[in-house]
Chain A
Amino acid sequence: MNELSRRAFLKDLGFSASALSFLYGLPSLQAQGDSSPKKRLIIMFSPNGTLPDQFWPDASGEDFILKSIMEPLAPHKDSLLTLKGVHNKIGGNGDDHMKGISCLLTARKLHRGNIQGGGHTPAGWASGISIDQEIANFLQSRKETKTRFGSLEFGVAVPNRADPWTRMSYAGSNKPIAPIDDPHQMLQKMYGQMKDRESLVSILDDVAADLKSVSLKLTKEDKNMLEEHMSLVRQIEKGLVEAEKESSTVHPQPELDPNIELVNDNTPKISRMQIDLLVNGLANDMMRVATLQFMRSVGQARMRWLGVNDGHHSLSHKPDKDKSAQDKLLKINKWFAGELGYLCKRLKETPEPGGEGNMFDNTTIMWVNELGKGNNHTLENIPFTLLGGGLGFKMGRSLHLPGVNHNRLLMALAHGFGHHIKEFGEHKLSEGGPLDLA
């Protein structure tokens, strides 16, 4: 075989997860799954409040009509559950945006800190773990649900700064988790070992050829040393090919545009890349819990791809009577719903690995926002929406709840996974236990 065809051969071969672990003692890309149905959770965040009139269905119950913002989710209406009347009642330090995002999944107070918002007292990080991490820890603690990562935190256009406006996931008190908003960085995290392997193989021939050519004029003793070296190089190559034969196939990693720049105008492309990676990671059972965070609280994305040139946060402050601003906010929120729709579609297209149906059936998605409404900064009626299945909730409904604390919604998620916690976040606000969504 000549140089080129050999390289091409090795390239075509591809490199599987188990080949890597065999050769380098690295952990396998996936953990060993079991046969019981997998349950998964995705939490998607979009910022700056919604337009309640364009969001909440008027009717409650199973017979309802989707409003404008929700139109992109029409194909998934049967698996959709809107939850009007859920409030973030945490209070304490920080402005409403900070409390909106940093108490959203932690359901507990922020520490007093040195980050000053517009009004209120300066605040620091949340004082405890968030629900996604709580559930991931629970799944990781059991052999049958343990995965390589437990959870992965995806971001789209999240600014490179760490403060209470930019974090929703927490590993614990004062322990925010940064979402990864660079698809290449995420790909590296998920598949870096395999890419490395591929690169290594591509240069093995050059190394072997060099070893041969430099040995020519050496004395016998010195030659021996290089021959030993050579035989080790061959061993590595052989081990690789053999491991390949034994390995099982996995969902191939997505191809990413190598030249994508992380700039505002590329947001739609980056969003799709991240969603593809997220679905791929779930399909390969690298994790059962994921978050997908668009921008940040108070984010100023300029969605020029929608014909909107103003910053999102500034628009969200405009009064209801400002028709132009309302139109733009509608476009913006509808765009987020569209990305969510794409996520649902991708999950539906993917058959449940080792099971029946598709992945959407066993994945619950919760769409969240830090505010109920942008221009009055309310923390009531946060637009909590659930999609998908697997947690035993009765979907295809619009619920009008009588003002419940969001702690109870988060508890319902945990209970859906069989993690029967008695409270979550602030003790008093957990009263009443998990919300009954069955």
Chain B
Amino acid sequence: MRNLKRNRIYKVTITLLLFLCAGSFCYSLEINGPGKPMYMKQCSSCHGDKGEGVNGEYEEALFGDWSLSKLTRYVIKSMPDDDPDLCVGDDAAQVAKYIFNAFYSPQARLRNSPPRIELSHLTNRQFRESVSDLFRQPASDEPAPESGLSASYYNSKGMNKKDSLKKRRIDHKIDFDFGSGSPLEGVKAEQFSIAWEGSLRAESTGFYGLRLTTPNGARLYLNVNIKEGDKNYRDDASKESNPPLIDAWVSSGNKSRTENARVFLQGGREYPIRIDYFKYKESTGSIRFEWLPPNGVWSVPTGDQLSTRKGEQLILAKTSFPPDDRSLGYERGSDISKEWLSAVTRASLDVAEQVDSILGYISGVKSKEDPQKSEKLISVAMRVLERAYRRPLTEQEKEQSIGLIFADSESPEVAVKRVVLLAIKSPHFLYPQLPGGKTPSYQVASRMALGLWDSIPDDALIGAASDGKLSNQDYIRSEAERMLEDTRARSKVIDFFYHWLDLDLERDLMKNDKVYPDFDEYKISDLRRSMNMFIEDVVWSKKSDYRDLLLSSHIYLNQGLAGVYGKSVEGDGMKRIDFEKTERSGLLTHPYLLSHFSYSYNSSPVHRGVFLTRHILGRTLKPPPQAVSFENQNLDPSLSMREKITHVTKDSNCMACHEIINSLGFSLENYDGIGRWRDTENNKRVDSFTQFETRAGDLVNLRGSRSLAQFIANDSNAQKNFVQNLFEYMMKQPIQAYGENTVDDLHTHFVKSNFSCKELIVEILCLASTKGIKQEES
């Protein structure tokens, strides 16, 4: 195996050398050709000697991905700006060639400033995920959970005491109106009590509203360790029990009361929940549990949002951080600012406080007089610090960081808090790329966990590292496959899709209610769920086929959505509905996405076109030379949307980019502002036929959305763009830093695996986890 690996490196090196030689030969010809003096004479005063731009003149740097022929045409037609006739014909071709090869093309840029793997701190998402996992307890063996909460129904007797258990069952939501009656046969209507228990699953990260509405008594516990035999099982809470998040235990004149709470939850995780309810002689009984997810609406959690799993309390880094740098198209921790460091500090204090509150649970110290308290707390502190450092501690660290702190603190509890502060503020934790005493195996483990989970390695991965197994590619692959099954991977992957599809920035999706009266915040929230289900459906299927993401013609709809989108659905919940292939083609025609890229009263071919150009085809677009706002009210009202856009962008300056934008955007004109299918618009038949010029300069006929989706699914540039986006989202580093051919190599692999997304993720991990930041020889 080792031989094989060495062989491979050898081959790569030779290829690279050959390429470099050939490259430098062509390079010198291209950038020293006759175009150069002409550029220096006619262009550099506005564009700079190296195309870097000139303040007060043309400030944007000259780079992009037009083909040489398109660039040439543009120079002939429009340059120099003040006298386009000055540079035409062969001169223009020579200048364009010089610009293209010296700094304009992606290859030139790569050559001029070769990207490197840069040191960076944890991104906000990585920080939150890692902090939670520092304190994660080993998973307990539980029967496979079902969706819903486990419910226990009791008869009560005098003084609000639970008496006899009448029934256990699973309830799929907590929204009951018992009227003046009994909740089920055998339970007395006058007084009874119910306990619901399980987990609540949060999809996105942020602050959630929670509320209980009842005319009776109820308590809600969330994200606390609820144990079998806990006194919470009685009507009266006792000293050892946790304080409820919402305490609505005492009723007030049989009037319905709503009690609220607001909590921060991390997406993709489950939180233990328990609701206790009782009715005592009030004339009516009812209870409803609702939540308000970030950017969502008040609704009753149901389906997969509830599970019977008995989870454990999660430590949450809820401090708000300054946003991560996104200038390269993915979030990365490249800024060091006072705001960031002070957010880290606040978070570390907050987390230390939370840890203190569950110290007994995670250390096994049941009493403050436990004779082994110190030892147990030292072992908790060691575990936390080891996890934060992502490797075993050295003897010196055990002495300095653990020993000294314990010796110095007024109590072992305070010492644990200090170790937690140290763990979170330490450069070992905040800068995971630092070798910082990690052997290559631990470095691989650290990169894998970040790449797939945005978190720290779990015990199994650390175990593999300590055995030195992670120097073996096969082993890395099998670990990656194991890790892919974890919910943290699912959460990161779904977040990636929202990032790739440009849906992770908050936009107002509310529409004009005269034009779209059926479209409200509830529909928006349901559509987002539908989108999630579609993505998970495809990605986590056996095939995991990227092309299905673009071509599959089904959508998940519930009753309300079905009404809007011309289908019918019976009963509660989301159902998978198949559409005609001409009508729906995967992600790009999902109503949630189409509604994002629309005006409040109609489609927006420009927004759709820009989205497709940048995010799906991965091409660069310069900001428009002059800002033109689309003023619908000033345009001829008899025109179709397509005609209006064509009219507004007809100027040749505009058309340099709008040629591409419009041709892509118009192909989706069969969808209105909320993504409903339409054959006519403004009393005219929709024209969705367009011609699109590819990067290579070829013209492609697009006949509406299906043909657009087919083109994208099979276009190797679009596929490579997906590969690059996924890579950079996972690793937070530029893909070229891993070698010039990395995109092509991964793409080849992607094609061979029949475009399996899961396989691509694994391959990215295998490739990227063995390479780290550059170190100087000492």
| Chain A residues packing against B (C-beta within 8 Å) | 3-4, 7, 11, 24, 111-116, 122, 124-125, 159-164, 174, 192, 195-196, 199-200, 202-203, 206-207, 210-211, 214, 216-219, 221-222, 225-226, 228-229, 232-233, 235-236, 258-262
Contacts and interface: CB of A to CB of B under 8 A. Distances in A.
Nearest to B419: A203
> Do most interface residues of chain B lie in helix, strand or loop, or is the interface mixed?
loop
Contacts of B774: 219, 222
B119 A115 contact: no
Contact of A222 (B238, B368, B773): B773
A214 B418 contact: no
Contacts of B413: 258
A24 B349 CA distance: 12
A124 B215 CA distance: 12
Contacts of B257: 174
A203 B349 contact: no
B239 A159 contact: yes
B426 A200 contact: no
A112 B417 CA distance: 46
Contact of B400 (A159, A206, A228): A206
Interface in B420-459: 421-422, 425-428, 431, 434-436
B55 interface: no
Given A159-B238, A160-B241, A262-B239, A203 B421 contact: yes
Interface stretch (B26-34, B106-114, B337-345, B601-609): B337-345
A260 B278 contact: no
Contact of A199 (B216, B238, B278, B421): B421
A230 to B, nearest CB: 9
A298 B563 CA distance: 60
Contact of A113 (B120, B252, B368): B252
B445 to A, nearest CB: 18
6 tightest CB-CB pairs across the interface, nearest first? A222-B119, A258-B411, A114-B280, A114-B251, A203-B422, A228-B336
A251 B405 CA distance: 27
Contacts of A124: 250-253
Contacts of A199: 352, 414, 417-418, 421
Interface in B223-260: 236-239, 241, 243, 247, 249-254, 257
26 contacts: A7-B404, A111-B252, A114-B278, A114-B279, A115-B160, A116-B160, A124-B250, A162-B237, A162-B250, A196-B349, A196-B352, A200-B345, A203-B405, A207-B426, A210-B427, A210-B428, A214-B431, A214-B434, A218-B773, A219-B773, A219-B774, A219-B775, A222-B118, A226-B427, A229-B427, A232-B338
B778 interface: yes
Nearest to B436: A214
B250 A163 contact: yes
A3 B776 CA distance: 29
Interface in B250-306: 250-254, 257, 278-282
B239 A114 contact: no
A7 B401 CA distance: 13
A103 to B, nearest CB: 15
Given A116-B280, A174-B252, A199-B414, A206 B422 contact: yes
A48 to B, nearest CB: 18
A207 B425 contact: yes
Interface string B113-129: 00000111000000000
Given A206-B400, A210-B428, 14 more contacts: A3-B400, A114-B279, A124-B252, A125-B252, A202-B408, A203-B418, A203-B421, A217-B775, A219-B776, A232-B338, A236-B345, A258-B368, A259-B368, A260-B368
B158 interface: yes
A112 B241 CA distance: 27
B418 A229 contact: no
Contacts of B367: 261
B51 interface: no
Contacts of B777: 217
A217 B776 contact: yes
A352 to B, nearest CB: 31
B346 interface: yes
Nearest to B429: A210
Interface in B351-395: 352-353, 367-369
A215 to B, nearest CB: 8
A349 B410 CA distance: 28
B317 to A, nearest CB: 16
Interface residues of B, number: 68
A258 B368 CA distance: 9
A229 B427 CA distance: 9
A390 B349 CA distance: 40
Contact of A200 (B281, B401, B421, B428): B421
Contact of B159 (A24, A116, A164, A260): A116
Nearest to A229: B336
Contacts of A262: 239
Nearest to A255: B410
Given A113-B252, A203-B418, A203-B421, A24 B427 contact: no
B675 interface: no
A40 to B, nearest CB: 29
A112 B119 contact: no
B734 interface: no
A244 to B, nearest CB: 18
A236 to B, nearest CB: 8
Contacts of B422: 203, 206-207
Interface string B590-618: 00000000000000000000000000000
B107 to A, nearest CB: 24
Contacts of A259: 368-369, 411
A200 B422 CA distance: 8
A118 to B, nearest CB: 8
Given A199-B417, A206-B422, A258-B413, A162 B247 contact: yes
B198 interface: no
Contacts of A114: 160, 216-217, 250-251, 278-282
A122 B251 CA distance: 10
Contacts of A222: 118-119, 773-774
Given A124-B253, A216-B778, A219-B774, A202 B239 contact: no
Contact of B405 (A24, A162, A202): A202
A2 to B, nearest CB: 11
B249 A162 contact: yes
B434 to A, nearest CB: 5
A219 B346 CA distance: 30
Most chain B C-beta atoms within 10 Å of own C-beta, residue among A113, A192, A229: A113
Given A174-B252, A218-B773, A261-B368, A232 B238 contact: no
A95 to B, nearest CB: 11
Contacts of A233: 341
B369 A225 contact: no
A164 B404 contact: no
Nearest to A4: B404
A24 B344 CA distance: 12
Contact of B253 (A111, A206, A214): A111
Contacts of B159: 116
A258 B410 contact: yes
A221 B336 CA distance: 13
Contacts of A206: 400-401, 422, 426
Given A217-B775, A228-B336, A113 B251 contact: yes
Nearest to B401: A206
B204 to A, nearest CB: 29
Contacts of B431: 214, 226
Contact of B425 (A112, A195, A203): A203
A160 B280 contact: no
Given A218-B773, A259-B368, A160 B401 contact: no
A260 B367 CA distance: 10
Most chain B C-beta atoms within 10 Å of own C-beta, residue among A24, A216, A233, A258: A258
Contact of B776 (A210, A218, A225): A218
Nearest to A197: B349
